[in-house]
Amino acid sequence: MTTVNDATYQLLRQHGLTTIFGNPGSNELPFLAAMPEDFRYVLGLHEGVVAGMADGYAQATRRPALVNLHAASGSGNAMGALTNAWYSHTPLVITAGQQVRATIGQEVMLSNVDAASLPRPLVKWSAEPASPRDVVRTIGQAIHTAALEPSGPVYVSIPYDDWAQETGPEEEHLAARVVEHAGELSDGQLTDLVAALDAAEHPVLVLGPDVDSARGNADAVTLAERLGAPVWVAPSAPRCPFPTTHAAFRGVLPASVDGITRLLAGHDLILVVGAPVFRYHQYEPGNYLPAGASLLQITCDPGEAARAPMGRALVASIGPALRRLAGTVAPRGVQLQPRPRPVLSALAAPGPDAGGGLAPEAVFELINDLAPEDAVYVNETTSTVGAFWDRMDMRQPGSYYFPASGGLGFGMPAAVGVQLAEPGRRVVAFIGDGSANYGITALWTAAQYRIPVVFVILNNGTYGALRGFAAKLNALDAPGLDVPGIDFVSLAAGYGVEADRAGSLEKLRDCFTKALASDGPTLIEVPITTVSPF
């Protein structure tokens, strides 16, 4: 016989969940007491930051990450971060402490009332075990559910007096369980897809984040080359599924109906792999497809397939489907020319009407020249996304992370989590001044654990994306668009992070070079000109 606590740690160990991201409260202490030495606890100062760090870590490792939150209040604080995890298919196993089982119905302080309902609909599955004897099995179910396609966050509320209870003999089987997904294209489906691709005169590929793995990237490249097809990244993709230096790469589709249709005009077949069709944002109505075009979608998410407004969808595992397609379609021998890189011209000069701020394009171009070839970028500068994709070279899988739902506060915590997962690569986080304040306490975690992220704060004193929408919606007189007067260098110093301000490209070059040589975190504040995201 053993306790629920000990059996749970053994189960977590078997699944490699030995890093715990958390911010503890009283309900969580019985679980965390006497934590085994082979486990690592990463403390965040706010639950949104905790969930964001775990999100980045899980995306980078491509395995579930364990999150420990405090009852209802802590879970509520993390809900904003869960919007990003849900849409990026991030496998998070979230545990939340519950009050003593016998007192929940009284709604005593720190009770999580109707706990399983709280995080919905931002989790694949949520539960509170019916008894202490069901805790370990429930956590096992959570781990497998989070990892199965489409992967995503799950939630388990656990009364804190359950941890000391004894388990039964049935728990011995849980650690050895294996659950695997085997949903592949049938031979008939493969034949239909290949026939459609071979018959198309001007096919185009649109790739999403579920393609982003070492094998998936390689098969996507092979498929594009055999088809002679240009490649676009799906709108608001949280990861980059294709090397941006490849001749077939064309950029990221805008998040609007009319914008996508205009860019895909002239193609008779649109193949969307590993992405929803499509995640629109700004309302620009139009025809869903260009004239004469049909659409095929391969997704691992039945929900994505069911809610799409057009096209034929197949639900299957993305990696095997891409591999079989890439090996079966007939090569066409078409050589694509790379899209011309935008000319920098005078963008490096400070903008006289913007208080001497640097052009974002110039900032990205300089850092692209200086950063290691295998650098990883976390981007939460919404108004400069276009400039980022125009200037940054990403050749390797796992080089890009972005908030999938647009929920602010992802960037700084996710960068910490990605760097923890990728200690051999340098993470560079581009963060807008508006976004930074939602996850600023991630700096403390980075400093305490000596996590060498380079945070580049692009400061234009406004919510750039919001101001762009205000212009489109004729709402520039709306309040709350600007956030002036924030000194990020002083804030970083207060959290224990080395920081400097770069008002010129020469100073930025110096600051970034020093940051790359450091073994700890660095923040660089860069005043930039205000640009429209549209």
Known catalytic residues? 25-26, 28, 47, 70, 281, 406
415 vs 16: CA distance, rounded Å = 21
Residues 6+ apart with CB under 8 A from 258: 284, 285, 286
71 vs 95: CA distance, rounded Å = 9
Tokens of 404: 């999938």
Q: Are 52 and 412 in contact (CB under 8 A)?
A: yes
Residue with tokens 């506060």: 409
141 vs 156: CA distance, rounded Å = 10
**How far is the CA of 274 from the CAs of 135, 243, 296, 338, in angstroms?**
34, 16, 11, 23
Q: Are 87 and 406 in contact (CB under 8 A)?
A: no
Tokens of 455: 């945070």
382 vs 384: CA distance, rounded Å = 6
Closest-CA residue to 246 (of 336, 141, 346, 120): 336
DSSP string, 335-375: -PPPPPPPP-GGGGSPPGGGTTPBPHHHHHHHHHHHS-TT-
Q: Is the peptide bond before 121 cis (omega within 30 degrees of 0)?
A: yes
Task: Quote the longest CA-to-CA distance of the chain.
Answer: 74
463: left (phi over 0), alpha (psi -120 to 50) or beta: beta
Quote the Cα angle for 249-255-261, to 5°.
Answer: 70
* Dihedral sign (CA 365, 370, 371, 372): positive
Closest-CA residue to 413 (of 375, 382, 444): 444
For residue 175, how many C-alpha atoms fall within 13 Å in the half-sphere facing its CB?
14
Would you say how long the chain is, in residues? 534
64 vs 153: CA distance, rounded Å = 9
Residues 6+ apart with CB under 8 A from 60: 376, 398, 401, 417, 418, 421, 422
For residue 22, how many C-alpha atoms fall within 13 Å in the half-sphere facing its CB?
25
Q: Are 55 and 90 in contact (CB under 8 A)?
A: yes
